[in-house]
Amino acid sequence: MMGQGAMTTTPITVRNVLQLLLEADSYPRQGNTDWRHAERMEGAALEKIEDAIGSPGDPPEFQAWLGALRKPHIRNDEREAVYDAMYDHFGSPRPGC
């Protein structure tokens, strides 16, 4: 039995983290506050990586993409290549394309 005030968290999958990252990337940005909100969304998704649970069916690219996006000083072209691959994998059109 859990004690009073104990919190349970639902595990998050690697796939869910990637989808959260795509949501952040596709968030409509019309003004400065939108850009900041999208950055916070991406930051929140990246914070979940450590606790994300992989599935046996996950392709190896999932870990490579997460590893690249976690790099603090990822080059913009690398970041864009990762997001392009993620959009392709999930069959989602890239916003603005």
Per-residue confidence (pLDDT) for residue 8, from 0 to 100:
57
Give the model's confidence band at 68: pLDDT under 50 very low, under 70 low, under 90 confident, else very high.
very high
Which one-letter amino acid corresponds to residue 36? Answer: R
Instruction: Inform me whether the pLDDT recorded for 66 exceeds 90.
Output: yes
Sequence ranges of the domains in the chain? 14-90
CA-wise closest residue to 48 among 73, 23, 78, 79: 23
Give the model's confidence band at 72: pLDDT under 50 very low, under 70 low, under 90 confident, else very high.
confident
How does pLDDT run across 33-65, given as a tens digit for each residue? Answer: 988 999 999 999 999 998 899 999 999 999 999
